[in-house]
Amino acid sequence: MNLRNIAIIAHVDHGKTTLVDQLLRQSGAFRENQRVAERVMDSNDIEKERGITILAKATSVVWKDTRINIVDTPGHADFGGEVERILSMVDGAIVLVDAAEGPMPQTKFVVGKALKIGLKPIVAINKVDKPDARASEVINEVFDLFAALDATDEQLDFPILYGSGKNGWMADDPAGPQEGMGPLFDLVLRHVSPPPVEDGALRMLGTLIEANPYLGRIITGRIFSGAVKTNQAVKVLDRQGNLVESGRVSKILAFRGIERQPIEEADAGDIVAIAGLAKFNVADTLVAPEVTEPLQAQPIDPPTLSMTFLVNDSPLAGTEGDKVTSRVIRDRLMKEAEGNVALRVEDSPGSDSFVVSGRGELQLAILIENMRREGFELGISRPRVVFQKDENGTRLEPVEEVVIDVDEEFSGVVVQKMSERKADMVEMRPSGGNRLRLVFHAPTRGLIGYQGELLTDTRGTAIMNRLFHSYAPYKGDIQGRRNGVLISNDAGEAVAYAMWNLEDRGPMMIEPGWKVYGGMIIGQHTRENDLEVNVLKGKKLTNVRAAGKDDAVKLTPPIRMTLEKSLAYIEDDELVEVTPKSIRLRKVFLDPNDRKRAVRAKD
């Protein structure tokens, strides 16, 4: 059968997964009476909850006797490592752009990678039915973006389609006709070339990894040459050509719609999943026994942010989770690093802790969220940026390109706050509807914890997108959190009466009845210093009746500290304690005397 391999790439929320839904539905991949979830490719629990794609996934459809393998990719910059890997599997890319927002930072990042390896893009302007759509201007912006990314003349001569993924149509004209996805399928067949097949024996590059309880490790990748059969003897080579293992292929799974079906043989050019090899990893090459040369994998951008994962040593440790030892935590982190090439895990010297480096706060927060759902208890340090040094010994730090869409009335406070965080403004232009698009180059250090502050400053109307730009010389100290915290001075259960009396000291982060311990952070102080308080003190009861009635205890609702909010909030001397049921904030040193010693040692 004829083959085409394409990826769908776009910024977060521009409609990739919804478009794949329609492609599957209109190609006959589903039965007439089959119940199908919305955004069927987002199969992970967290993906469904948050409405974002985290893992790249493959599917396939048949159109006019041609099988089209489609790879749905994440749109968030933190998961860029997923996108960089899968581009080696495909021969073309559908660049999906929102008709109102235009090309955004992540579009720029992924398109740059795709153009660099020579993929021929198809531009699809999505959501043209939105009231603020500006399709013709967006086309010009896309062309300017491609030109700025050094696209070849052939790549600049890209075909354009307009449509609405949600309503299930694409056409050569924004006005229609609205007759389904046929024009997009036909364009893929015309514009994307069939996969090139190299001569020689079997060579397949591993791209995506997953663990299956029945089949063990499953690696998805593209066969570049030869063919693979069930029970065939093969070997695995790493990037340098060293032998990783020899074995046999126990199962070959081909993508058929959203299902994977076992097949006996797969030919060059196809994207399949292979089971039966325990050490076959991402970026390794599966080859026939006589082959000695591996395929070259695409280089992955380095991590820019790191956190320390510690064994939970709080007084409440082990009461809510069952995976608490350093050995179990280390095994889980090493397993994650195997499948996620954008993640790096190192043992921290002399303690039960591990330094985990990744692309951003969201990527690491998703890992922590997955671990707590699996029953792990952890202590997590404040995110730190990964510094580098150039050949002259100058200290370099990661700088990000930040695009903020904001109402004009709030632009002043955004510019002021960003300049305090050592950001340089590079562009300011109107983006329609009394909104401005502000573009900054800002050190990653300054952006940690800014998202919540930005939403507060702009009353929830601003949209911030970030993308790694480059490493630049260190920009000096950046002021952190301005408020101190309220710290519990004893262990027990919080009492409403005590919390009510402490309300003028600052907002609380706990509720009555919650378990607290000495050194745990229970609220935010209104001043700059930390304050130890007693939230366990109940009301003294006597047998003397007062003439007036007691004041009713009415508490202000507490600040809800989510995982991402907590990681952004804490300072260097604080930790987030993560368990399957709770997220607590605490000081690194629970004893007040140890805290004073640490401050003196620092000074």
Q: Would you say 26 and 8 are in contact if contact means Cβ atoms under 8 Å apart? A: no
Residue 1 carries which DSSP code? -
More confident residue, 488 or 298: 488
> Which phi and psi angles does 564 have, rounded to 5°?
-65, -40
The end-to-end CA distance of the chain, in Å, is 71
> What whole-number distance in Å separates Cα of residue 520 and Cα of residue 531?
11
pLDDT given at position 577: 93
Q: Which two tokens stand for residue 159?
A: 């075909």
> What whole-number distance in Å separates Cα of residue 556 and Cα of residue 546?
26
Q: What is the mean pLDDT of residues 371-385?
A: 90
Q: Amino acid identity, residue 96?
A: L
More confident residue, 239 or 491: 491
Give the range among 54-63, 116-125, 454-463 with minimum mean pLDDT.
54-63
Give the range among 22-36, 201-215, 237-251 with minimum mean pLDDT.
22-36
Closest CA to 503 of 454, 428, 559, 438: 559
pLDDT in tens, 394-405: 888 889 888 888
pLDDT in tens, 330-354: 999 988 887 777 788 888 876 788 9
**Please, what is the Cα angle at 112 between 106 and 113, to 5 degrees?**
95
Q: Would you say 553 and 565 are in contact if contact means Cβ atoms under 8 Å apart? A: no
Closest CA to 570 of 583, 587, 582: 587
How would residue 33 be classed by pLDDT, with cut points 50, 70 and 90? very low
How would residue 521 be classed by pLDDT, with cut points 50, 70 and 90? very high
More confident residue, 428 or 482: 428
Q: What's the whole-number average pLDDT of the chain?
A: 84
pLDDT in tens, 317-327: 888 888 888 89
pLDDT given at position 376: 92
Q: Which two tokens stand for residue 278?
A: 């325990």
> What whole-number distance in Å separates Cα of residue 102 and Cα of residue 96?
10
In the chain, what are the domains? Answer: 2-191 (3.40.50.300), 203-287 (2.40.30.10), 388-473 (3.30.70.240), 485-602 (2.40.50.250)
Burial 425-444 (b: 16+ CB within 10 A, else e): eeeeeebeeebbbbbbbbbb
In 254-352, alpha helices (H):
326-339
Q: Is 418 helix (H, G, I), strand (E, B) or coil?
A: helix
**Please, what is the Cα angle at 46 between 40 and 47, to 5 degrees?**
35
Residue tagged 């299930």 (tokens): 168
Q: Would you say 58 and 71 are in contact if contact means Cβ atoms under 8 Å apart? A: yes
- Is pLDDT of 262 > 80? yes
Query: CA 583, 589, 595, 601 torsion: positive or negative?
Result: negative
> What whole-number distance in Å separates Cα of residue 209 and Cα of residue 378?
25
pLDDT given at position 505: 92
233-237 β-sheet, strand order:
243-248, 233-237, 285-287, 203-212, 216-225, 271-275, 251-256, 259-263
Q: Would you say 124 and 169 are in contact if contact means Cβ atoms under 8 Å apart? A: no
Query: CA 316, 321, 322, 324 torsion: positive or negative?
Result: negative
The binding site for GTP consists of 13-18, 126-129
Give the range among 183-192, 209-218, 412-421 with minimum mean pLDDT.
209-218
pLDDT in tens, 95-140: 888 888 888 777 777 888 888 888 889 999 888 888 888 888 889 9
Q: What is the mean pLDDT of residues 450-469?
A: 83
This prediction's pTM: 0.78
pLDDT in tens, 271-316: 888 988 888 887 788 889 888 888 887 767 778 889 999 999 899 9
Percent of the chain with pLDDT over 70: 91
Chain-centroid distance, C-alpha 60: 24
- Is pLDDT of 486 > 90? yes
How would residue 82 be classed by pLDDT, with cut points 50, 70 and 90? low
The binding site consists of 13-18, 126-129
> What whole-number distance in Å separates Cα of residue 444 and Cα of residue 422?
10
> What whole-number distance in Å separates Cα of residue 167 and Cα of residue 508?
46
Q: Would you say 221 and 208 are in contact if contact means Cβ atoms under 8 Å apart? A: yes
